[in-house]
A = this chain, B = another copy of it.
C-alpha cells in the first residue's frame, strides 16, 4: 500500500471509480462526488472537462490495460490450452489491479457520449475477437472441442469478469488462483 499523498486529480479519479461502481454513473452527481473528495463541485472542473470526461478516462485507461496485457501474454508461444490460460491470467490480472475501475469499465460504458461510445464498442469488439481467434485456433488444431466460439468466448469472459465478486465477497483468494481455477474449470470441466 503506497502512502504517497495523492493529488486532487487522483483523488477525484479514485473516488469516482468507487462511487460509479457502487451506485452507477447516472446516479452520482458532481456535488456528491465532490463532497466525498472533500472539495466543492465546480473545483472538479479544474481537473476534468466534464463528467463524461471522467468516465472516458476510466474506461479507456482500462481498455488500454487489457490490450497491453493481452499482447504481452500472447508473445509466449504455447500450445492452445496453455495459451488460453495465459490470456485468462492476463485478463484477470488487469481486473485485480483495477478492481473498482474495471467494474466501471464493464457496467457503465454505455453512458459514454459519441464519438467515444462508438470508439469504445469497436475496441471491445476487437478484444473479443482476439480471444475468439485464440479459441478457434485451438479448435482447428484439434486441442479443443469444436463448439460455437462466440458462446465459449462469452462463457470465458463472463466467468473471468466475476473476479470482482470473488475477491470482494469471499474468504481471501489469491488473484492467480482465481484465473488458474477458472481456466481449469473451463478447460477440463467440473466432472471428475
- A181 interface residue (CB < 8 Å to B): yes
In residues 170-192 of chain A, which contact B (Cβ within 8 Å)? 170, 173, 178, 181-182, 185-192
Q: How many copies does the complex hold?
A: 2
Known: A24-B110, A170-B150. A186 touches B155 (CB 8 A): yes
Q: B24 contacts A185, CB within 8 Å?
A: no
Interface size on A, residues (CB 8 A): 43
Residues of B within 8 A of A173 (CB): 148, 151
Interface residues in chain A, defined as those with a beta carbon under 8 Å from any beta carbon in chain B: 23-24, 26-27, 81, 84, 107, 110-111, 135, 138, 142-145, 147-148, 150-152, 154-155, 157-159, 161-162, 165-166, 169-170, 173, 178, 181-182, 185-192
